Amino acid sequence: MYIYEKYNFRVFTLMMALMTAMFLGFSEFIGAAVSILIGVLVTFSYQGIRIDAEHRRFMKYDRFLRLRIGRWEKMSTPSYVTIVRINLSAIRTMASPMVMPEGKKGARAYKVNLVVEGEERYIHICRGSLQKMTSEALRLGRHLNLRVLDYSTHEKRWIL
């Protein structure tokens, strides 16, 4: 089974810390304890994907400590794995989970997709730096016995 997980910092943790301070300020110890418990639970937050090639299914999930929230979905026949470059702009209408470098108009990130032969066309696996995504794409390609296409430059080439 292929598993990829990444730590995910959530702003909700800071909100719970502020609520704890507020509860302690008013001597509400039960509310403070509940806020601390929820804050600790959310602090150890991971996002990930599991791919079960044998049963042809995958699960995208959020994990808090040992609790996984997600469900298994059927996966169409996989064709190949690809590494794609995405450009991130400093001017955005939506919040970006990636920290943008100061003084630049944009930044580059790379993502790994599993291209399938179904309606969904591809399954997003992960996003990050080129070195990490290349190694993750090669690991996924070896695990599923698929070819890996580097689509991050103008020279599209098979690397596995």
Number of domains in the chain: 2
For residue 107, is pLDDT > 80? no
- State whether 22 and 57 are in the same domain: yes
pLDDT per residue over 109-134, tens digit each? 999 999 999 888 999 999 999 999 99
Residue 1, C-beta contacts closer than 8 angstroms, at least 6 positions apart: 50, 51, 52, 53
Both tokens of 58, joined, read: 């995958």
The two tokens of residue 86 are 């995405």
User: Once rounded to an integer, what is the mean pLDDT over residues 34-39?
Assistant: 90
Task: Point out the domain boundary residue: 41, 75, 109.
Answer: 75
Tokens of residue 82, six digits: 């690809």
pLDDT tens, position by position, 37-56: 888 888 888 999 999 999 99
Res 99 pLDDT > 60: no
Q: Do residue 66 and residue 90 come from a single domain?
A: no
- Quick one: 87 and 140 in the same domain? yes
Cβ pair 107, 96 in contact under 8 A = no
Looking at the structure, do residues 111 and 87 belong to the same domain, yes or no?
yes
Measured CA to CA, the distance from residue 50 to residue 146 in angstroms comes to: 17
pLDDT of residue 10: 80
pLDDT, tens digit (0-9, with 9 covering 90-100), for 56-91: 999 999 998 888 999 999 999 999 999 999 887 655
81 and 146 share one domain: yes
Say yes or no: 90 and 130 in one domain: yes
